[in-house]
Structure 1
Amino acid sequence: MIQDIAPHQYNNAYKPVPPKKDSFALYYEKRTCLMKKSEEGMTFPTFADLERLNEDIYENYTYLFSIDNKPFYLVNDINRERLSAYTMENTEVFRTIQPRYLAFAGITGYQLYSWYQSHKFCGRCGSPTQKDEKERMLYCEKCGLMEFPKICPATIIAVRDGNRLLLSKYAGRTYKKYALLAGYTEIGETIEETVKREVMEEVGLKVKNIQYYKSQPWSFSDTLLMGFYCDLDGEDKITLDQDELALAEWFEREDLPEVTSDESLTNEMIQMFKLGKI
């Protein structure tokens, strides 16, 4: 999956040390990121690449994390070199581009960029927020409100019926491939209750034998995904929630669509069932 970057080591400890010339500088505009693509994959600019047109770049930055002890920083409002090999690319590219450890860095940096962008001002009194020096937190000097990065718990749900697996396609989204059922946990419910509710809401089915499989950070949507397998409990007739899904259908194990990528928990869970490992 996208976070599986071994032998590289990701360290998310907040250590706001000053950047060096060879430190990576992550720059975003809306849903795009500055990078250089080639046949070998991609890379990000360093501070040395950007310093000629950005004299204050060593003063205006935010420490993000490190990989293999090499730090990554967020930079804002930079001047970009015209006709440079570095171009703005949609963050969806991080699903498939290599090397994987840089793709993971890019989408994780984007999650933090989005959080910083949406918390420039206090949500309680409207005053500008300030960065804390010891931990990744924004605080309001006026009213004392503290804000930490947002992580939304959500479920990925593989509904089984013997040798069959239920697959669906989202309604109104750019992602058109088959997927498992999914949904966010609501306030006041357990993750297992989320599984039952989402299955009932989206396809009108009851489930039992809910079994936890694995989790995955999914920075594309600020989400911590938790995967579950469960068994159909009763009738298999699907009642589709057309606001959420374009279709949902049962597949025999041997007829499941081929999984062509391994970046997501959804694809891994489908593949595990297809291969008879679950």
Structure 2
Amino acid sequence: MIQDIEPRHLNNQYDPVPPDKDSYALYYEEHAVLLKKTEEGITFPRFREIERLNEEIYEDYIYLFSVDDERYYLVQEINREPLSEFTMENTEVFRNADPQYHAFAGITGYQLYNWYKNHKYCGRCGKMMRRSEKERMLYCEDCRNMEYPKICPAVIIGVTDGNRILMSKYAGRAYKKYALLAGFTEIGETVEQTVAREVMEEVGLKVKNIRYYKSQPWAFSDTLLMGFYCDLDGEDKITLDQDELALAEWFEREEIPVEPSRDSLTNEMIIRFKNGAV
């Protein structure tokens, strides 16, 4: 999956040391990121490569994390050159880009970029928020409100019935490939209850024997995904929630029209069932 970057290691401990000329600068605009495509894959600008584009780049930055000994920083403003070798690319590039540790760093940085952008002002009193120097936290000097990054728990659900698995396609989304049922955990429920509720809401089926598989950080939607398999309990007739899904259908193990990819927990769970491991 996208976070599997071994033998490299992501260190997300907040350690706001100043950048040097070789530190990586991550720059985003909405759903786009500044990067360079090479024969080896993607890379991000180092401070020395773009320092001429912003005289305050060594003062106006936010420390993000490190991968091994390489440090990554969020930079706020760059006067981009029209003919630069670095270009703005949609963040979807991180799903398949190499090297994988850069892809994971890029999408993780994007999650933090969105958090900082969305919490520029205090949600309680509307004043400007300030960054803590000791931890990854924003605070309001006026009303003392404090904000930490929030992660949304969600479930990926492999509903099985003997040699069959239930797969679906989302309604109204750009992603058109087959997926498993999924949904966010609501306040007051366990993740196991989320599994049963989402299956009933989206396809009108009851399930049993709910069992945890593994988890995945999914920065594309600020989510911590938790994968579960469960067994059909009773009738297999699908009642589709057309607001959420374009279709849902049962597939025999040997007929699953999905090939392995590296990015998602959903794909891993489907391929695991396809190969007879479930």
Shorter-chain-normalised TM-score: which range?
over 0.9
Bigger drift between 22-31 and 39-48 goes to 39-48
Q: How does 1:38-117 map to 2 (within 5 A)?
A: 38-117=38-117
Q: 2:267: which partner in 1?
A: 267
Q: 2:32: which partner in 1?
A: 32
Deviation of 1:39 after TM superposition, in Å, equals 2.7
State the Cα deviation string for residues 94-150 of structure 1 (Å, max 9, x = none): 000100000000000000000000000000000100000111000001111110112
Deviation of 1:70 after TM superposition, in Å, equals 1.1
Within 2, Cα distance between the matches of 1:182 and 1:222?
A: 15
Q: 1:245: which partner in 2?
A: 245
Identical residues among aligned pairs (%): 73
Tell me, what secondary structure is at the counterpart of 2:227? strand
Tell me, what secondary structure is at the counterpart of 1:49? helix
Instruction: State the one-letter code of the partner of 2:264.
Output: S
Tell me, what secondary structure is at the counterpart of 1:16? coil
Deviation of 1:240 after TM superposition, in Å, equals 0.1
Instruction: State the one-letter code of the partner of 1:259.
Output: E
Instruction: State the one-letter code of the partner of 1:99.
Output: P
Within 1, Cα distance between the matches of 2:17 and 2:97?
A: 29
Deviation of 1:80 after TM superposition, in Å, equals 1.2
Deviation of 1:231 after TM superposition, in Å, equals 0.1
Q: 1:127: which partner in 2?
A: 127
Tell me, what secondary structure is at the counterpart of 1:50? helix
Q: 2:168: which partner in 1?
A: 168
Stretches of 4+ moved more than 3 A in 1?
A: none
Instruction: State the one-letter code of the partner of 1:150.
Output: K
Within 1, Cα distance between the matches of 2:205 and 2:53?
A: 58
Deviation of 1:69 after TM superposition, in Å, equals 1.8
Instruction: State the one-letter code of the partner of 2:87.
Output: T
Say what the alpha-carbon RMSD is for the aligned residues.
0.6
Within 1, Cα distance between the matches of 2:103 and 2:162?
A: 37
Deviation of 1:77 after TM superposition, in Å, equals 1.6
State the Cα deviation string for residues 12-36 of structure 1 (Å, max 9, x = none): 0000000000000000000000000
Task: Kindly indicate whether the alpha-carbon contact (under 8 Å) linking 2:54 and 2:77 is maintained by their aligned counterparts in 1.
Answer: no
Give the alignment's TM-score, normalised by structure 2: 0.99
Within 1, Cα distance between the matches of 2:182 and 2:75?
A: 34
Deviation of 1:82 after TM superposition, in Å, equals 2.5
Within 1, Cα distance between the matches of 2:205 and 2:69?
A: 48
Deviation of 1:81 after TM superposition, in Å, equals 2.2
Q: 1:158: which partner in 2?
A: 158
Deviation of 1:38 after TM superposition, in Å, equals 2.1
Deviation of 1:259 after TM superposition, in Å, equals 1.8
Deviation of 1:53 after TM superposition, in Å, equals 2.0
Tell me, what secondary structure is at the counterpart of 1:193? helix
Q: 1:193: which partner in 2?
A: 193
Task: Kindly indicate whether the alpha-carbon contact (under 8 Å) linking 2:260 and 2:268 is maintained by their aligned counterparts in 1.
Answer: no
Within 1, Cα distance between the matches of 2:253 and 2:262?
A: 18
Within 2, Cα distance between the matches of 1:29 and 1:69?
A: 26
Task: Kindly indicate whether the alpha-carbon contact (under 8 Å) linking 2:171 and 2:246 is maintained by their aligned counterparts in 1.
Answer: yes
Deviation of 1:79 after TM superposition, in Å, equals 1.0
Within 2, Cα distance between the matches of 1:42 and 1:58?
A: 23
- Unaligned 5+ segments in structure 1 are none
**Is 1:5 aligned to residue 5 of structure 2?**
yes
Give the alignment's TM-score, normalised by structure 1: 0.99
